[in-house]
Structure 1
Amino acid sequence: MNRKTKPLKINDTHVRDTPALQTVLDLTALFPSDLLPAMIDGSDALWLTCHAAEPVGFCFAEPEPMTEGTWNMRAIAVLPAHQNSGAGTALTHALETRLRALGARLLIADTSGLPEFAATRAFYRARGYAEQSRIRGFWAPGDDKVTLTKSLDLA
């Protein structure tokens, strides 16, 4: 069966998903996969996993301290073999839906300004996120932090 024909399911992330999600991190190099177990275990963040038979991606968000209804999507990653299959879109849509139900009004996503992150920035823009700020040299010299936001207010 073609990966694009398998139905995608978004569920809360469970500890049992950790090994598969560590593989996602190893193949995407988003951040070191050995950090994941401690991040998930006991976290108050909202973690979601995308399943297409097996876990193929995840995202998580946390409320921004000292704000009213603002959340920050700290990470989203999808196995390279499942990118462009709708998994990332399904994850962001599920996250936004869950956050709206929690009364969130604004979702932030930070990424790199490097050319190799152009597709990431385009992904967010295609889903209604707008660039709000750029901090020069934030991640490293020559690597800007680009902050995009999306209003979650129901119109």
Structure 2
Amino acid sequence: MKNHNIRPLESRDLERARYLVGENEMFPPEMLEDMTAPFFENDPDQRWVVFDDGAVDGIAYYLPEQMAEGVWNLLMIAVDPKRHGQGLGTQLMRFVEAELAAAGNRILLVDTSGKDEFERTRSFYDMLGYDREACIRDYWTSGDDKVTFRKVLT
């Protein structure tokens, strides 16, 4: 899928990526250096892309599932909160889906929290046509379920 606003992450984007991760409370931003290191060392299984229309306002990270044929897992997507609701997340997701489908991959999985404050996130995946495939109670912490979404790509 061609999208001129979406490109691979570059090392010069890391400061902005840390901001996006922190503002969206994804994980401690200081973890980003170690997480992206394999990508910058050209690990073919590491995929990091950014939405850049003059500023890097979105980022996505996805990997193949181990021991599963053609199954990938979106581990992170974050958009600048000032730009939520403007379609950047949808464009990133459509890019990821199209790229994976074009390479013959079958399924994309996404995990998120079952907490009330993640209802908007779950609704986002519902809107994109993902199926709520599983719920593992108390996965992240006691009282915080893991909700797994699944989308067939081919």
TM-score (normalised: structure 1): 0.91
Opposite residue 136 of structure 1, the aligned amino acid is R
Instruction: Show the counterpart of 1:39.
Output: 35
Which ranges of 4 or more aligned residues in structure 1 deviate by more than 3 Å? none
Q: Contact 1:13–1:47 (CA<8 Å) still a contact in 2?
A: yes
1:1-155 alignment runs, 5 A limit? 9-43=5-39, 44-153=45-154
**2:4 & 2:142 partners in 1: Cα distance?**
39
C-alpha contact 1:8 1:87 (8 A) present in aligned 2: no
Deviations 1:29-61 (CA, angstroms, capped at 9, x unpaired): 111111111111223311110112110110111
Deviations 1:116-139 (A, max 9, x none): 000000000100101010000000
Q: Tell me the secondary structure at the aligned position of residue 53 of structure 1.
A: coil
Aligned length: 147
Task: Say what the alpha-carbon RMSD is for the aligned residues.
Answer: 1.3
Give unmatched runs, 5+ long, in structure 1: 1-6
Q: Which moved more, 1:88-97 or 1:42-51?
A: 42-51
Name the CA distance, whole Å, in 1 between partners of 2:52 and 2:118.
25
Q: Which runs of 5 or more structure 2 residues have no equivalent in the other structure?
A: 40-44
The aligned residue for residue 3 of structure 1 is none
Percent of pairs with identical residues: 37
User: Residues of 2 paired with 1:128 and 1:18: CA distance?
Assistant: 31
SS in 2 for 1:67: coil
- Residue 8 of structure 1, CA deviation: 7.3
What per-residue deviation string (whole Å, max 9, x for no partner) do you get for residues 96-128 of structure 1? 111112221100000000000000000001001
C-alpha deviations, 1:72-118, integer Å up to 9, x for none? 00000011001111110010001111111222110000000000000
